[in-house]
C-alpha cells in the first residue's frame, strides 16, 4: 500500500537531473583521504562474554576463516562472452519493447546485438568493481569500529571482520583482474555514502551505515547474483563471501539493538535520517551512470529512456529486492517506527515496505556456513 502524499523533504529525491548532477572528479587519483573524526577508545574491562551473543559470533568467526587463494578453484575458466550469451542479449529495440522499455527516438534506437552485448559485459565489470570498492569500504569501517566501540566483545568480533573484509577485497580484485575485462572507478553515490559513514564521529553510525545498510544490501545483492550467475567460480566465491556477510549483518543488529534501547526520540531521528540518506545513495548507485558513459551515449538520455520519465520510479522489483534485508533489520532496531514512523513513511515511497515482515538477519549466519559444510564434506570423502 502506498502513501498518497510524500513526506516533507522528499520533493527532490527522485529527480534525475539532481541525482546525475553529481559525478566523481578525482577518478585518476590513486588515493582518497577522509578525516574520520573519532576517538580511539581503550577499555580496561576485559571480561570476555559479557555480551554472550557477540561472543558466540566471535567464536563462530574464528572457526570460519578461509583462504581466498586456496579455497577457491581459480583454475576454472571464465568466458565472459559465453556468460552474457547465456543470460540473454537483446537484438534491438523490439526486444526491449517486450520488457516495457521504448528506445525508439533515442540514441539507443540504433543499437543492435553487438552494442547490447558490450553493454552487458561493461555492466558486469561495473557491478563486480562496485562490489570490490564496497568491500574496501567495509575493511576501513570495521577497522574504525575496532578502535571506537567501547565493548571488548565487540572489539574482538570486529577484528575478525577486518580479516574477512581483507579477504573479500582480495578475491573480488582477483576475479576482476584474472577473469573479467576491466575495472571501473567507484560510483560517485557509493563513494559519498562511504565518506559519510567514515566521517561521522559516533561509533554506532559506522555500524548503521556499514553493517546495516551497506552490508544488508550487499547480502541481498550477492544472494541474487549467486542465484543467477552460471559461472561456477563466481558462485563459489559468493557463497564463501555471503557466509561471512551474514555474520557481519548479525553483528550490526545485535550491537545496535542494545545501544538503541537507551536513545531518546531526537537521537533516534538522527539515525533514521542517516538510514534514509544511505538508502537513497544506494538506490542511486544502481543507475550505473558510469556504464552509459563508457558506452559513449548521453547518460541522462539513456537513464531517462530506461526510466521512461524524468523521475526515478522506485518500481523495479529487482531494485526493491535489494532492500529485503535492510527493512526487517531496521524494523527490529526500532528505526522503522520511532518518531511516528518517520522512516516507515519514507521507505514506503521507495516501494520497499513489503519486506518489513521478512525475517531479520540476527540469526541468518547460522544457516550460511560454507566453510563448515565444505570441511565436513571433505572429511566424509577422506
Ligand atoms: Fe565483505
Ligand atoms: Fe562484510
Mean pLDDT for 331-348 is 96
For residues 205 and 374, give the distance between their C-alpha atoms in angstroms, rounded to a whole number: 35
Kindly give the distance from the C-alpha atom of residue 278 to the centroid of ligand 2, in angstroms, as a whole number.
Answer: 16
Q: What angle do CA 222, 331, 144 make, to 5 degrees?
A: 60
Residue 361 pLDDT > 90, yes or no? no
Kindly give the distance from the C-alpha atom of residue 378 to the centroid of ligand 1, in angstroms, as a whole number.
Answer: 25
pLDDT band at 100 (very low <50, low <70, confident <90, very high): confident
Residue 1 pLDDT > 50, yes or no? no
Q: What confidence score (pLDDT) does residue 134 get?
A: 97
Kindly give the distance from the C-alpha atom of residue 314 to the centroid of ligand 2, in angstroms, as a whole number.
Answer: 26
Mean pLDDT for 52-80 is 96
Cell numbers describing residue 125: 565489470
Q: What confidence score (pLDDT) does residue 341 get?
A: 97
Residue 19 pLDDT > 50, yes or no? yes
270-295 in b/e burial notation, b at 16+ Cβ within 10 A?
ebbebbbbbbbbbbbbbbbbbbbebb
All structural domains of the chain, each given as residue ranges with its CATH number in brackets, are: 17-23+51-381 (1.10.620.20)
Residue that has been written with the C-alpha cell 549483518 in this structure: 249
Q: What confidence score (pLDDT) does residue 364 get?
A: 77
Q: What percent of the chain has pLDDT over 90?
A: 76
For residues 366 and 57, give the distance between their C-alpha atoms in angstroms, rounded to a whole number: 10
Q: What confidence score (pLDDT) does residue 380 get?
A: 86
pLDDT band at 235 (very low <50, low <70, confident <90, very high): very high
Kindly give the distance from the C-alpha atom of residue 238 to the centroid of ligand 1, in angstroms, as a whole number.
Answer: 10
Q: What percent of the chain has pLDDT over 70?
A: 98
For residues 224 and 199, give the distance between their C-alpha atoms in angstroms, rounded to a whole number: 31
Kindly give the distance from the C-alpha atom of residue 58 to the centroid of ligand 1, in angstroms, as a whole number.
Answer: 16
| Residues whose Cβ atom is located within 5 A of ion ligand 1 | 135, 138, 165, 168
**Backbone angles phi and psi of 100, in degrees to 5:** 80, 15
Kindly give the distance from the C-alpha atom of residue 250 to the centroid of ligand 2, in angstroms, as a whole number.
Answer: 10
Residue 3 pLDDT > 50, yes or no? no
- Mean pLDDT score across all residues of the chain: 92
Q: What confidence score (pLDDT) does residue 320 get?
A: 87
| Residues whose Cβ atom is located within 5 A of ion ligand 2 | 138, 215, 245, 248
pLDDT band at 2 (very low <50, low <70, confident <90, very high): very low
Kindly give the distance from the C-alpha atom of residue 96 to the centroid of ligand 1, in angstroms, as a whole number.
Answer: 34
For residues 135 and 183, give the distance between their C-alpha atoms in angstroms, rounded to a whole number: 15
Mean pLDDT for 44-73 is 96
Mean pLDDT for 225-232 is 94
Mean pLDDT for 171-185 is 97
Instruction: Lowest mean pLDDT of 103-112, 277-286, 368-377, name the range.
Output: 368-377
Kindly give the distance from the C-alpha atom of residue 247 to the centroid of ligand 1, in angstroms, as a whole number.
Answer: 10
Q: What confidence score (pLDDT) does residue 5 get?
A: 61
Kindly give the distance from the C-alpha atom of residue 315 to the centroid of ligand 2, in angstroms, as a whole number.
Answer: 28
Amino acid at each position: 500500500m502506498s502513501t498518497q502524499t510524500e513526506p516533507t523533504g522528499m520533493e527532490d529525491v527522485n529527480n534525475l537531473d539532481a541525482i546525475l548532477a553529481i559525478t566523481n572528479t578525482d577518478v585518476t587519483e590513486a588515493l582518497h583521504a577522509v578525516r574520520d573524526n573519532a576517538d580511539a577508545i581503550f577499555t580496561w574491562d576485559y571480561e570476555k562474554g559479557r555480551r554472550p551473543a557477540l561472543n558466540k559470533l566471535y567464536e563462530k568467526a574464528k572457526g570460519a576463516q578461509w583462504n581466498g587463494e586456496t579455497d577457491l578453484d581459480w583454475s576454472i575458466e571464465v568466458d565472459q562472452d559465453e556468460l552474457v550469451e547465456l543470460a540473454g542479449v537483446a537484438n534491438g529495440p523490439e526486444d526491449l519493447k517486450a520488457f516495457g522499455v521504448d528506445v525508439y527516438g533515442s540514441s539507443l534506437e540504433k543499437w543492435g546485438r553487438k552494442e547490447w552485448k558490450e553493454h552487458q559485459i561493461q555492466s558486469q565489470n561495473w557491478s563486480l568493481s562496485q562490489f570490490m570498492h564496497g568491500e574496501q569500504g567495509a575493511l576501513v569501517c570495521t577497522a574504525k569500529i575496532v578502535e571506537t566501540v567501547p565493548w571488548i566483545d565487540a572489539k574482538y568480533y570486529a577484528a575478525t571482520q577486518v580479516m574477512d573484509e581483507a579477504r573479500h577485497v582480495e578475491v573480488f580484485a582477483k576475479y576482476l583482474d584474472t577473469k573479467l575485462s576491466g575495472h571501473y572507478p567507484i560510483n560517485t553515490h557509493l563513494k559519498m555514502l562511504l565518506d559519510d559513514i567514515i566521517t561521522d564521529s559516533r561509533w554506532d553510525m559506522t555500524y548503521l551505515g556499514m553493517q546495516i545498510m551497506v552490508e544488508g544490501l550487499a547480502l541481498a545483492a550477492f544472494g541474487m547474483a549467486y542465484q543467477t550467475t552460471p559461472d561456477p567460480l563466481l558462485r563459489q566465491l559468493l557463497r564463501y563471501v555471503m557466509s561471512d556477510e551474514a555474520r557481519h549483518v548479525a553483528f550490526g543488529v545485535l550491537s545496535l539493538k542494545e545501544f538503541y534501547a537507551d536513545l531518546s526520540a531526537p537521537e533516534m531521528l538522527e539515525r533514521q535520517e542517516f538510514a534514509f540518506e544511505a538508502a537513497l545513495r544506494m538506490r542511486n548507485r544502481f543507475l550505473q551512470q558510469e556504464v552509459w558513459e563508457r558506452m559513449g551515449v548521453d547518460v541522462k538520455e539513456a537513464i531517462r529512456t530506461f526510466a521512461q520519465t524524468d523521475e526515478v520510479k522506485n518500481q523495479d522489483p529487482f531494485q526493491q529486492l535489494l532492500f529485503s534485508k535492510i527493512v526487517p533489520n531496521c524494523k527490529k532496531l526500532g528505526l522503522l517506527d520511532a518518531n511516528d514512523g518517520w522512516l516507515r513513511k519514507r521507505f514506503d515511497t521507495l516501494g520497499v515496505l513489503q519486506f518489513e515482515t521478512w525475517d531479520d538477519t540476527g540469526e541468518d549466519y547460522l544457516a550460511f556456513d560454507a566453510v563448515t559444510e565444505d570441511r565436513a564434506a571433505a572429511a566424509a570423502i577422506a
